[in-house]
Amino acid sequence: MNTGRVTTARRGRPGYDLESLLAVAVTVFNERGYEATTMEDLSRRLGITKSAIYHHVTGKDELLRLAVDRALDGLFEAADEAAATGGRAIDRLEQLVRRSVHVLVERMPFVTLLLRVRGNTEVERRALAHRRRFDQMVGALVRQAEAEGDVRPDVDPAVAARMLFGLVNSLTEWYRPRGGLDADALADTVCVLAFQGLRRSPPATR
């Protein structure tokens, strides 16, 4: 099983490189849950011995750290890009949402794993702390957009920030990249829904 992967990852000797090993590990973590997965499970699924896994990583913990960093790096790069564009906060916020949808599509298994982290180990607590820092940045952007008069007055900025990324994160539950809807179209729809709303006419003019 997974022999196709082994072949493409081969570097002169049978086995996995770190990248393909990580991809399989993340799939297993997402299927069974990180906590419930043992090195034995990984070894079986990869078709290699545990010591062959330890050739690449120090253990399950390091695989998790590499995986959630893949997701977090993408999200923080998106935030840096949005911050660098300047302009009104509401536009930077919309750009951040749009870029985050792309990160989610491109790194779906890593983001899915990140969203399931619950904080039982040092690596998990660190990931949760990074997620909180990201959420705080989003919250600050919404507050700034509100201060600039660009957010509906009947919306609490903290709640709106939670909901925006609740919407983005919920894409991991149903979106599959091969479904005919590409990342651009998906990001457009998220932004239309969240920033302009589903209704054609704003209620004030109805």
Question: Is there binding between residue 156 and its own copies (CB under 8 A)?
Answer: yes
DSSP H helices, 33-121, are 39-46, 50-54, 60-84, 89-106, 108-116
Q: What dihedral angle (degrees, nearest 10) is formed by the CA atoms of 15, 19, 21, 27?
A: -150
Cα distances (angstroms) measured from residue 3 to each of 11, 61, 67, 120, 132: 14, 25, 22, 33, 39
Question: CB of residue 31 vs its own copies: minimum separation in angstroms?
Answer: 9
Question: Is there binding between residue 13 and its own copies (CB under 8 A)?
Answer: no
Question: Is there binding between residue 153 and its own copies (CB under 8 A)?
Answer: yes
- Segment contacting its own copies by CB under 8 A, of 6-14, 51-59, 77-85, 152-160: 152-160
Angle formed by the axes of helices 157-174 and 108-116, nearest 10°: 120
Site for its own copies in 67-106 (CB under 8 A): 90, 93
Question: CB of residue 104 vs its own copies: minimum separation in angstroms?
Answer: 12
Question: Is there binding between residue 36 and its own copies (CB under 8 A)?
Answer: yes
- Give residue for tokens 């050739």: 55
Question: Is there binding between residue 140 and its own copies (CB under 8 A)?
Answer: no
Cβ 187 vs Cβ 101: under 8 Å: yes
Question: Is there binding between residue 171 and its own copies (CB under 8 A)?
Answer: yes
Q: CB neighbours of 190 closer than 8 A, spacing ≥ 6?
A: 97, 98, 101, 167, 168, 171
Count residues contacting its own copies (CB under 8 A)? 45
- Segment contacting its own copies by CB under 8 A, of 5-13, 106-114, 123-131, 144-152: 144-152
- Segment contacting its own copies by CB under 8 A, of 7-15, 74-82, 121-129, 147-155: 147-155
Which residues lie near its own copies (CB under 8 A)?
33, 36, 90, 93, 142, 145, 149-156, 159-160, 162-164, 166-167, 169-171, 173-175, 181, 185-186, 188-190, 192-203
